Amino acid sequence: MTRRATLLMEAAPYANASGYINALLAEELARLGYTPEAHFGQHPVAGDIVTPLATADRLRRMRAAAKADLAVYCDRALAMRLPTREQARKTLVLFHGLMGAPSTWLESPVIDGHWVLSPYMERALTSLLALPDWRRRQCLHPRAFQTVSLLTPPLPCVDEARGHPELKGAELPPHLREALESGDVIGHAVQPGKPDWGAVTAILLNLNALAQEHGQRRRFRLVIEAEDFALVRHAFARGDGSAEAARMGLDALGLTLEDVLVPVEKLSQPALFQVFRAARFGLAYNGFPEPFGFYVLESVFNGCPVYTNGSGNNRFALPPDHGIHVHETPGMAWGDVGAYAEVASRIFADLDAPERQAAACLRGREHIQRTFTRAAFARSVETCLLRLEGPAADPIPFEALEVAPGPLVRCMDEEGQVVSDFEPTALEPDALQLMRELTGCRAGEAAARLPPEKTDMFQELFSRGVLTLRAPGL
Res 387: pLDDT: 92
Question: Per-residue pLDDT for 245 more than 90?
Answer: no
Question: Per-residue pLDDT for 60 more than 90?
Answer: yes
Res 337: pLDDT: 86
Q: What CATH number belongs to 161-371?
A: 3.40.50.2000
Residue-wise pLDDT for 99-145, tens only, equals 888 989 998 889 999 999 999 999 999 999 999 999 999 999 988 99
- Average pLDDT taken over every residue of the chain: 94
Please say whether the beta carbons of 202 and 340 come within 8 A.
yes
Three-state DSSP class for residue 52: coil
Question: Per-residue pLDDT for 236 more than 90?
Answer: no
Question: Per-residue pLDDT for 2 more than 90?
Answer: no
Beta-carbon contacts of 375 under 8 Å, excluding residues fewer than 6 positions away, are none
Question: Per-residue pLDDT for 152 more than 80?
Answer: yes
* CA atoms of 157 and 98, how far apart (whole Å): 26
Of 445, 446, 444, nearest to 455 (Cα)?
446
Three-state DSSP class for residue 323: coil
Beta-carbon contacts of 51 under 8 Å, excluding residues fewer than 6 positions away, are none
Instruction: Provide φ and ψ at 214, rounded to 5°.
Output: -90, 10
* Cβ count within 10 A of residue 264: 22
CATH class entry, domain 3-154+383-389: alpha beta
Res 46: pLDDT: 86
* CA atoms of 56 and 79, how far apart (whole Å): 12
Domain ranges of the chain: 3-154+383-389, 161-371, 398-470
Res 434: pLDDT: 97
Residue range 371-378: mean pLDDT, rounded: 97
Q: Do domains 3-154+383-389 and 161-371 have the same CATH topology?
A: yes
Of 371, 409, 412, 400, nearest to 469 (Cα)?
400
Res 73: pLDDT: 97
**Percent of the chain residues past pLDDT 90, beyond the cut:** 84
- For 248, half-sphere exposure in the C-beta direction (CA atoms, 13 angstrom radius) is 6
Residue-wise pLDDT for 274-291, tens only, equals 999 999 999 999 998 999
Question: Per-residue pLDDT for 473 more than 90?
Answer: no
Res 1: pLDDT: 62
